[in-house]
């Protein structure tokens, strides 16, 4: 076989055979196919797509380049959650210990932020001593003892995806739904969970801007999970408005701990509980009551145990910004717009995010908003706080917020958090 045959077949609308897919994934991972040829094939897939059989085989072979974890020995039903990324989305920090406290095991392999969307590992690493890099034996031991782990992908977790993702990022082929779905699902299937709930974000601050596009991605991923023996469902949730009240690494940890302590903003609690119920249902624990577990302190106990098991100190003070710039409400009335993309880009420019995977992030930078869509505000009241440790980054962050805030003289109701579900 040779790469040119595959490129021409897909370019002309043809179907790749199982043998061609197996050969390409194996050969590209082994550096036997050059980036130029792989890029051409990815672009052909972007335009021509992959049918369900091609995609299932493609994903299967990505998994096969590494190992699929066996979590049968943890003593609990396993279930995980994946979000396609948004602004202020710190749900995993609350959800993992919450679902563990309800009796399931959550083996979450998480990632880092890129651009305006935050990364779970970046947030957790603001906790002194906490480690994301764990051996397979450590992962098993932590899940068995605490019920939850949040860790970075190891080198044996779908290594083909690491190469293909890096190539997609620099060749304009990120937007392909089959390639997005195979990237996410190859890692989630390989981590060994028996069930998976997907949170597919829709809106200005999400990768998918329109519900129809998000539904197509959700249906594709649910189909892949089911085909590989993982019980999978998805919720489509809004991301026109940022989630909770903070965007930024340490800021989001503080907000997550407050939520675990029984507080937290209503939208964050609503989404967390909705995802928890879906996870527990898939795990075969439909009678568990995550709201009660969140309220009575068991979820907080689970959080502390998970953090300690990964070397962190849950009682340690988190880093704080040296400077805080306040943005006031421009008028009196109802906050009718708080654009997730504008807030996310502002946090990114303050230092909370990165432009390239190798960039460092600031633990303290970010944005706090004191009101959300539907809330009454008074002209001149503090509306946003911009947290930073590098004053030179402030002007570009303020520029990102131009047009992101609107106040209406008439009442405005926020839209629903959960748009639809895909089984």
| 87 CB neighbour count, 10 Å cutoff | 31
Identify the bridge partners of residue 421 per DSSP, sorted by sequence position. 235
List residues with catalytic annotation.
82, 161, 168, 183, 187
The single residue listed with the structure tokens 């300690």 is 308
Burial class (CB in 10 A: 0-12, 13-18, 19+), 128: middle
**What is d(CA 307, CA 314) in angstroms, rounded to the nearest whole number?**
6
- Say if residues 264 and 258 touch (Cβ distance below 8 Å): yes
The residue assigned the tokens 């040119």 is 4
Helices (H), 68-198: 91-101, 120-124, 136-146, 159-171, 177-190
C-alpha span between 29 and 62 (Å, rounded):
9
End-to-end CA, the chain: 38
Residues 394, 350: Cα–Cα separation, whole Å: 6
Angle subtended at Cα 317 by Cα 249 and Cα 152, rounded to the nearest 5 degrees: 45
Answer whether 104's CB lies under 8 Å from 114's CB.
no
Angle between helices 159-171 and 18-29 in degrees, nearest 10: 90
For residue 236, what is the DSSP state?
Answer: E
- State the Cα torsion 92-94-98-100 to the nearest 10°: 40
- CA–CA distance, 164 with 26 (Å, rounded to integer): 12
């Amino acid at each position: 076989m040779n790469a040119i045959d595959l490129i021409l077949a897909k370019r002309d609308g043809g179907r790749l055979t199982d043998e061609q897919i197996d050969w390409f994934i194996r050969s590209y991972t082994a550096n036997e196919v050059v980036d130029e040829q792989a890029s051409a094939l990815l672009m052909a897939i972007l335009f021509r797509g992959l049918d369900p059989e091609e995609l299932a085989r493609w994903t299967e072979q990505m998994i096969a380049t590494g190992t699929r974890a066996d979590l049968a020995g943890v003593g609990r039903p396993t279930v995980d959650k994946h979000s396609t990324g948004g602004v202020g989305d710190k749900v995993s920090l609350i959800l993992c210990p919450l679902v563990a406290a309800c009796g399931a095991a959550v083996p979450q392999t998480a990632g880092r932020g890129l651009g305006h969307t935050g990364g779970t590992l970046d947030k957790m690493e603001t906790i002194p001593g906490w480690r994301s890099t764990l051996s397979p034996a450590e992962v098993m031991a932590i899940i068995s003892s605490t019920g939850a782990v949040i860790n970075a992908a190891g080198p044996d977790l779908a290594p083909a995806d690491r190469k293909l993702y890096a190539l997609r990022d620099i060749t304009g082929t990120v937007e392909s739904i089959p390639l997005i779905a195979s990237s996410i699902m190859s890692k989630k299937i390989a981590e060994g969970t028996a069930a998976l709930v997907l949170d597919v974000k829709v809106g200005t601050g999400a990768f998918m801007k329109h519900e129809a596009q998000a539904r197509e991605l959700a249906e594709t991923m649910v189909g892949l999970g089911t085909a590989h023996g993982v019980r999978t469902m998805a919720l489509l949730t809004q991301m026109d408005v940022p989630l909770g009240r903070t965007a930024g690494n340490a800021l989001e940890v503080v907000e997550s701990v407050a939520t675990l302590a029984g507080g937290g903003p209503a939208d964050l609690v609503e989404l967390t509980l909705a995802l928890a119920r879906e996870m527990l249902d898939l795990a075969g624990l439909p009678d568990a009551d995550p709201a009660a577990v969140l309220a009575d302190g068991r979820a907080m106990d689970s959080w502390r145990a998970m953090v300690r098991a990964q070397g962190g100190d849950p009682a340690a003070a988190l880093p704080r910004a040296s400077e805080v710039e306040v943005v006031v409400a421009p008028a009196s009335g109802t906050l009718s717009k708080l654009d997730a993309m504008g807030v996310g880009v502002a946090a990114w420019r303050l230092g909370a995010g990165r432009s390239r995977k190798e960039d460092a992030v600031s633990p303290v930078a970010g944005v706090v908003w004191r009101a959300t869509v539907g809330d009454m505000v008074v002209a001149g009241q503090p509306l946003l706080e911009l947290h930073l440790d590098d004053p030179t980054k402030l002007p570009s962050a303020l520029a990102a917020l131009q047009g992101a805030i609107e106040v209406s003289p008439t009442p405005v109701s926020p839209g629903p958090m959960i748009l639809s579900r895909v089984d």
